[in-house]
Amino acid sequence: MTDRAAVIRDITERFSEDIQRLDDVSHKRVYIDIETGSLVKMALYLFEQVGARFNIASGVDCRSHIEILYHFTVEDINLMVSLRVRLDREKPVVDSLTPYMKAADWIEREMNELLGIEFTGHPDMRRLLLADFWPKGVYPLRADYEEWDDSAVRDRGV
Amino acid sequence: MGLKLKALLKSPWVFHLSTGSCNNCDIEVLDCLTPRFDIERFGMLLKGSIRHADVLLVTGSCNRMSAERLKTLYEQVPKPCLVVAIGECSLSRGMFIHSYNCPVPLDHIIPVDVYIPGCPPKPEAVIAGVVKLIEKVGGKKGD
């Protein structure tokens, strides 16, 4: 598949029930809002059938919900497909992509500790970035994060 | 001024430590060592090990993980040693002052002798700072 229109048409036909919305924003960028449950099969389709590369994922706390964008690059046609899932803010749970693509390992661990998203099926969910003494259940990239360290100095002393 | 300190000022060997900087200050420090500025003419030599160094050059805002490593390194420097904070980040954490991972500035963690501000400081500023450091320590001679 080397044609951009054919790739997008194929995705929309194959996953018509899973896709909530498709934003064709520019000639090299497509955003697809999908159901949370159909993430794995769509990601696997892009990865194995279309030949896309898993680029990176980005997690965002939007106050009303938490969303994750999974960016896939189809290098032959210079197209980036971003799958967007919306998660419940109280209990953000999504299926892990790590069993299928190794590149998702560290970014899922990072989203787990910075945003508190739970990835079901991740084989090795250890702490990656934060210090060992960082308190449990405090997620620094959440919009409602508050300072927990009393010894922190937040002025320049002038 | 002790004999150790006097010997140190003749040829201060420096160790360069980045505690999470954007690498811009590191490039300026390396610039000082290139033939254009050639800080080696003052006897300064960049060393690969902290145990061989007299001066600790610190760049970058200290985060929770690197603060522990910084303390360990400071314990390993042969004393007397001098600490130079290079760049806005190590002085006051710069734009990272409200970051969840940078709780305190460098001088709350280890004692600092010279502050070189700038984002990044020019090689001239680094050289001027080091000369001031030598003057400051060497000036105690008359006491």
* CATH classification of the domain holding A82: 3.30.460.80
pLDDT at A85 over 60: yes
For residue range B82-110, list pLDDT tens digits in order: 899 999 999 888 888 888 998 899 989 99
Among chain B residues, the shortest Cα distance to A155 is held by B97
DSSP β-ladder status, A19-26 and A29-34:
antiparallel
Token output for B70: 């910084």
pLDDT at A36 over 50: yes
Beta carbon pairs, A and B, within 8 Å:
28
- What is the average pLDDT score of chain B? 86
> What secondary structure does DSSP assign to chain A, as a single string?
---HHHHHHHHHHHTTTTEEEEEEEETTEEEEEE-GGGHHHHHHIIIIII--EEEEEEEEE-SS-EEEEEEEEEGGGTEEEEEEEEE-SSS-EEE-STTT-TTHHHHHHHHHHHH--EEET-S-----SS-TTSPTT--TTSTT-----TT---S---
pLDDT at B143 over 50: no
Contact B108 A157 (CB under 8 A): no
ipTM over 0.85: no
By residue range, what is the domain housing residue A77? Answer: 4-93
Residues B14-39, mean pLDDT to the nearest whole number? 89
Say how far apart CA A74 and CA A68 lie, in whole Å.
Answer: 19
Residues A86-99, mean pLDDT to the nearest whole number? 92
pLDDT at B58 over 90: yes
For residue range A134-144, list pLDDT tens digits in order: 998 899 999 98
pLDDT at B3 over 80: no
Q: Which residue has the higher pLDDT, B94 or B141?
A: B94
Q: Walk me through the domains of chain B, giving residue ranges and CATH numbers.
A: 3-138 (3.40.50.12280)
With cut-offs at 50, 70 and 90, classify the pLDDT of residue B142: very low
The nearest CA of chain A is from the CA of B120 a distance in Å of: 18
DSSP β-ladder status, B13-18 and B45-46:
parallel
Give which of A104, A140, A142 is closest to A122, Cα–Cα.
A104
Domain count within chain A: 1
pLDDT at A158 over 80: no
Contact A140 B108 (CB under 8 A): no
With cut-offs at 50, 70 and 90, classify the pLDDT of residue B1: low
Q: Which residue has the higher pLDDT, A1 or B116?
A: B116
Residues 102-141 of A with CB under 8 A from B: 130-131, 133-134, 140
Asked whether residue A49 is domain-assigned, the answer is: yes
